[in-house]
Amino acid sequence: MDMGVVRSAVISNDVVKVEITPTYSGCPAMDVIGDDIKAALKAAGYASEIELILSPAWTTDWITPRGRKALEDYGIAAPLGPEADKDVLLNGKRIVKCTNCGSQNTRLVSQFGSTACKAQFQCDDCQEPFDYFKCLK
Amino acid sequence: MTTTEQNIDQKLIPILEKVSDPRNSCIINHGYGRGAFGSH
């Protein structure tokens, strides 16, 4: 929910109807997310239907402050704004903070990280590799 | 906590939050450079 991927979840005729929106179209994680939601609802005694909603497109603005903190706590740098993102990804400016030590002495390793919505960074102070969640708007 | 555009039945929030837990989220579990997905 804090990622903004779950757009709605309402109970209708004893069935929970859940709408989810991918972070980007074709995200391979959506089937797993849907299955995880179905399993959690089933464990709580609810039948459910999952619907994939592509419009409006997901944006990183939908990540809640708690979601951003959860990302950072887990070791994924939360998205900066769109202009800062261009500076970081295209001009190599050192703005993204290392999620391990907090240093801004970090560099882009790859435009794509472990998923297409993230980029791979490394901290030049503590050497920790980490993902940066790209700004999508 | 939800974004303003979300429409989530209050009764379902505790259930869905379990799925949102970073330790359970497949979005995040693929992170930290050890993911199931590479550059594409």
Tens digits of per-residue pLDDT, B1-40? 445 578 999 999 999 888 765 555 545 444 444 444 555 5
Of the candidates B3, B12, B34, the beta carbon closest to that of A64 is on: B3
Q: Is the peptide bond before A22 cis (omega within 30 degrees of 0)?
A: no
Q: What is the number of alpha carbons within 13 Å of residue B6 lying toward its C-beta?
A: 25
Averaged pLDDT for residues A47-58: 93
Of the candidates B16, B24, B26, the beta carbon closest to that of A9 is on: B16
For β-strands A15-20 and A6-12, DSSP reports them as: antiparallel
Q: What is the model's pLDDT at position A136?
A: 85
Is the per-residue pLDDT at A104 higher than 80?
yes
- Name the residue in chain A with its Cα closest to that of B1: A2
Cα–Cα distance, A70 to A55 (Å, whole number): 26
The answer to whether A58 contacts chain B (CB < 8 Å) is: no
User: Can you give the residue ranges of every domain in chain A?
Assistant: 6-58, 63-133
* Domain A6-58: CATH class, spelled out: alpha beta
ipTM over 0.90: no
Nearest-Cα distance to chain A for B7, in Å, is 4
DSSP A43-69: HTT-EEEEEE--SSPP-GGGS-HHHHH
Residues in chain A closer than 8 A to B10 (CB atoms): none
What's the whole-model pTM score? 0.78
Q: What is the number of alpha carbons within 13 Å of residue A131 lying toward its C-beta?
A: 28
